[in-house]
Amino acid sequence: MAILYGFHAVSARLKQNPASVEEVLYDQTRKDKRMQQFVDKAHSAGVKLTPADADRLEKAAGHRQHQGVVAFAKAVQKSTDLFEIIETNGADTLILVLDGVTDPHNLGACLRSADAAGVHAVVLPKDKSVGITPVVSKVACGAAETVPVITVTNLARTLGEMQEAGVWCVGAAGEADKSLFQMKLTGPLAWVMGAEGDGLRRLTKEKCDELIHIPMVGSVESLNVSVATSVCLFESLRQRQFSAL
């Protein structure tokens, strides 16, 4: 059973798979337009709506950042066969690999950018990585429901298998000589992004086909992993869809 909370995360599930939502708790004291629109949407989807007070909502969500909306839903089955996804999408394949991201806010933001940029799957290592928690789902604003998230035991080995399947693996590393804007980012591609602070692990870095840095002209030395991910993904999207315009 999955616990979703916040307007974006719950609304996304109601839109994409209302049958999976077993019950929605909502703040019975809120009479504002946003809550009323949400309640109307849930009614239209045919889900069970239960008025709840602040204590029950906080207990269900695990903290206070629920915006007055908490849903209990069945896990949605998405394809988790990475190589089936690669074969299906062919030359358009775009994968995001996150090497040890442990902050749920960062993972949620990465998933949101991945959805917006058309990423077909996100790959996470089993160890030293946050999974899909309620916080991740809330920050992702529904993207955790749409982008397949695949957890692997050995990330370096998985990168090697992706390369054998024809995917070019590009890692982001501040010390790299080549700039992001010097890269051709069309064709089957996997972006490999490192953890907060430490960046890519040695073995992961060694498995990448190429390493790039993001050019920066300000005083800061690096970008947050979710921001760096967005920059790289949207440069890929620009080259794939808009470079000829």
pLDDT reading at 220 higher than 90: no
Tokens of 232: 């790289």
Domains of the chain and CATH, by start: 2-73 (3.30.1330.30), 82-242 (3.40.1280.10)
- pLDDT bracket for residue 195 (50, 70, 90): confident
Across residues 182-210, what is the average pLDDT?
93
The amino acid at residue 204 is T
Q: Would you say residue 216 has pLDDT above 70?
A: yes
Q: Helices (DSSP H) in the chain: which residue ranges?
A: 7-16, 33-45, 54-61, 82-89, 104-117, 134-140, 143-146, 155-164, 202-207, 225-237
User: Is 194 within any annotated ligand binding site?
Assistant: yes
Is 214 annotated to bind a ligand? Reply is: yes
Interval 106-160: pLDDT, tens: 999 999 999 999 999 999 999 888 888 878 888 887 777 788 999 999 999 999 9
Strand-by-strand arrangement of the 189-194 sheet = 149-152, 121-125, 94-99, 189-194, 168-172, 210-213, 178-179
pLDDT per position as a tens digit, 83-101: 989 988 899 999 999 998 9
Task: Provide the pLDDT confidence category of residue 25 given band limits of 50, 70 and 90.
Answer: very high
State if pTM tops 0.85: no
Tell me if 82 sits within 8 A of 123, measured CB to CB.
yes
- pLDDT band of residue 245 (cuts 50, 70, 90) is very low
